[in-house]
Structure 1
């Protein structure tokens, strides 16, 4: 067993005992007699025990829990990327609040963190040609629920396409690119 793991578990158990959290130690697998012995260890004894090469710990992987945690981590990362993308594309405080539940202070902090500065005053309105192009793309790609994350992703795809940040137009549901040639 890796000595540092022995040390980490012993320190964790000792801290739990000092806080009176017996259940945590039980969950780790310690018996009451072992908890009493750990609780009375001197620093020198703790150090010697933690450096022992004898294996007193068995590590097991709870595969289903790990799978669920990995899936949650991926979802959270995708959500963070979606938020940063919306901010980078100039998403309004109202839009970011509606879709992600962020406060204006959180949005401002995120903008500063990723280096986005927002000019004061009114938001720039697209010209008629750009407005028509936005509407044409939205009509072809519009999902059933316009308040869904899918709708937000489509809005961001359209913004990237029309601002020149994307090389390709977003795909139409039927795979037809003909309406884009009119743009």
Structure 2
């Protein structure tokens, strides 16, 4: 049997009262007299009131808050999916910390949960052909701000596009190569404008 709204509110109010949180009871809509009366009910009286068929509480939906919470939930879901995707594509602890603020323990635990194992040692450098292809693919998806979540999504797309051809390519390798190439582009622009 699903507990009535009376029961749920009474349980919440009594829990707040037990902790001395009278403001919470007031926020639920109880007056001080009602809070005092609740506090003095015997267990049997409390049971009778909480199980009454007639609801003493009405519910209203705060649509603005609900819409905000739904948007937050969607955003958090997308973030969790991005983290999983980044881990599956070989995102390093440094990359996951940089874009998501995850600690090394968080990353290791998530890898274990996803069944992702990471080879020991340094990530192998891509050959010249793969390196050039990373840059070509990056030009298709390029995002100005490399620090943004959009840039990470673009790098994930680059990695996905190249994975069938470049075995062992990781998101971390793509990230490092793109960052290095972007630094070279900026340096070349400075040299050009300075000259």
Q: What is the TM-score normalised by the length of structure 2?
A: 0.80
Which stretches of structure 1, 4 residues or more, deviate above 4 A after TM superposition? none
1:112-134 Cα distance to aligned partner (Å, 9 max, x none): 11111111112133232222211
Which whole-Å deviations, capped at 9, do the CAs of 1:131-155 have from their partners, x for residues lacking one? 2211111123211111111110010
Unaligned 5+ segments in structure 1 are 166-183
Q: Matches of 2:8 and 2:71 in 1, distance apart? A: 27
Partner of 1:122: 122
State the match for 1:93 in structure 2: 93
Distance 1:79 1:118 in 2: 22
CA RMSD, Structure 1 to Structure 2 (Å): 1.5
Task: State the alpha-carbon separation in 2 of the partners of residues 8 and 141 from structure 1.
Answer: 51
CA distance in 2, matches of 1:90, 1:22: 51
TM-score (norm 1): 0.85
| 2:70 matched residue in structure 1 | 70
Aligned length in residues: 164
Q: State the match for 2:111 in structure 1.
A: 111
2:156 aligns with 156
Q: Is the 8 A contact 2:141 2:158 kept in 1?
A: no
Secondary structure of the corresponding residue to residue 46 of structure 1 = helix
C-alpha separation between the residues in 1 aligned to 2:5 and 2:124? 57
- Taking the aligned partners of 1:76 and 1:3, their CA distance within structure 2 comes to 31
Unaligned runs of at least 5 residues, structure 2: 166-195
Deviations 1:23-42 (A, max 9, x none): 10000000111111111112
Instruction: From the two aligned structures, give the one with the greater helix fraction.
Output: 2
